[in-house]
Amino acid sequence: MKTLLQLKTSQQLKMTPQLQQAIRLLQLSTAELNLEIREALESNMMLEIDEPDVDVTDQRVDLEIEDKTPEIEISPSHALEGNQAYDEHASSFTYSGDISDTEGAHLGSLKAHLLWQLNLLNFSDTDYVIAVSIIDAIDNMGRLSCSLDEIKETLRGSIEPIPEIDEINLVLKIIQEFDPIGVGARNLSECLLLQLAELPEDTPLLNEARLCVEQHMSSLGARNYQDILDNLGIKRDELVHMLRLIKDLNPRPGEQYDSVSKDYIVPDVFVFWEKGGWNIELNNEAVPRVRVNSSYSNLVRKIEKKEDQLTIKSHLQEARWLIKSIESRNDTLSRVARAIVEHQSAFLAFGEEAMRPLVLNEIASSLDMHESTISRITTQKYMHTPRGIFELKYFFSSHVSGSSGTTISSTAIRAIIKKLIASENKEKPLSDSKLSTILSDQGVKVARRTVAKYRESLLIPASIERKELS
């Protein structure tokens, strides 16, 4: 029996990790992409935020140990417990009012939370007015937005005699012991120092952290860690621990008490009329820009240990893939948004009734892309237009045939139905059958059940429920 050897060739489509990542980033919303980038920054030393001009006073302290440690970013921490200074300043104060008047105020805005705490103390009339003026000057981040001299001027006419700066400063010191810790600070350094003051005195490297925040904020913001090492006289591993201690502080303590909902829609694309045409512009502020950390990338050739070299090369490759995937996502988003605007220019000019029918395949064909790509890039992506903010999927709709062979968008039909119902006689509201007849007279053939479906999608009740008596 002879054994036959047969060779067969076959083709198998296999996506590379880079392609998989690019496809996954396409379908992420702006919030999800920001989270993805944040996680990448924490896990990959080769990545860093592309911020050429760092303003130490306004920016969150973004820490990075050059050539040795990955980037560290300060993030909000849990409220710190223990308040010895507060006890010293306010031990003699007692609350004499009705707790029910202020109970629960802390659940609202930052100012309400501070006033709630203020009312728990038995301030003198003068100090109370000063405290209210100080709280009014605290912004949503928890930072004091004006100087003590300016606060003094606001008190002119309210208090006689006008309090001295020292008295205002004393009241400020008491407010700075309020929750959240760090509130009422006049700058970033003071905010962090107030939080460091609440830590146990035996905390390792606490004094060094205080000295760094107090005297070397410029070096910290500029990531000049060699200068910090030289001035503080500490070792590099001690610097790492000190920076991690500062990392746990919250540079914006007031944000957690914002009573306004955080579920904002951040537009990915802006559309505006300029020079006789519709222009689009990506919202570059929605997603942080990242780049390869040149300091770390240069280490690849200097490391002799092969295992460490492979690890760094792997991180470098992943960083480049992520940056390229983000660039590809932005390019695809820009092209798709531009194609949508070109197709729906009538809607931008005249409103919903001018919306044209549009399906994914039309955009995919015009851009030489797959429908699945268009579906991913239009999901949870938003366009800011002169007519409002819309999800990109909003511009896609099915069509209904008109009497003259034309097609009409279902969105336009909904707009017409809404307009007809808004102008109807409330004593004799239009039935679905009557609406169907009116639409047919206008050249739009829509069945009664289709009208009912569109009306219900607009959350408009049936005619019998809309009827009003004169």
CA angle 150, 151, 153 (to 5 degrees): 65
pLDDT score at 258? 61
pLDDT score at 2? 58
Amino acid at 288: P
Tell me the residue range of the domain where 159 lies.
84-175
Q: Which of 175, 191, 212 corresponds to the end of one domain?
A: 175
Q: Give domain status of residue 335, yes or no.
A: no
Contact criterion met (CB below 8 Å) for 163 and 152: yes
Contact criterion met (CB below 8 Å) for 222 and 54: yes
In this structure, what is the dihedral angle of CA atoms 45, 51, 56, 57, given to the nearest 10 degrees? -130
**Domain count for the chain:** 2
The string of pLDDT tens digits covering residues 29-39 is 888 888 888 88
CB atoms < 10 A from the CB of 365, how many? Answer: 12
The string of pLDDT tens digits covering residues 408-431 is 888 888 888 988 999 888 888 989
User: Hunting for tokens 């951040």 — which residue is that?
Assistant: 266
Q: What is the pTM of this model?
A: 0.50
| Half-sphere exposure of residue 326: CA atoms within 13 angstroms, side-chain side | 20
Q: Give domain status of residue 257, yes or no.
A: no
Distance CA 35, CA 281 (A): 23
Q: Give domain status of residue 123, yes or no.
A: yes
Q: Which two tokens stand for residue 273?
A: 């009329």
Instruction: Tally the residues of the chain.
Output: 470
Q: Which of 175, 209, 239 corresponds to the end of one domain?
A: 175
Q: Which of 175, 190, 208 corresponds to the end of one domain?
A: 175
Q: Give domain status of residue 206, yes or no.
A: no
- Pick out the chain residues at pLDDT < 50: 13, 54-107, 259-262, 470
Alpha-carbon distances of 224 from 3, 67, 166, 275, 325, rounded to whole Å? 72, 12, 36, 46, 31
Q: Assign residue 423 the CATH number of its domain.
A: 1.10.10.60
Q: Which two tokens stand for residue 349?
A: 């000019």
pLDDT score at 137? 87
Burial of 193 (0-12, 13-18, 19+ CB in 10 A): middle
Q: Give domain status of residue 255, yes or no.
A: no
User: Hunting for tokens 């104060």 — which residue is that?
Assistant: 93
Burial per residue of 70-108, b for 16 or more beta-carbon CB atoms within 10 angstroms, e otherwise: bbbebeeeeebeebeebeebbeeeeeeeeeeebeebbee
Q: Give domain status of residue 405, yes or no.
A: yes
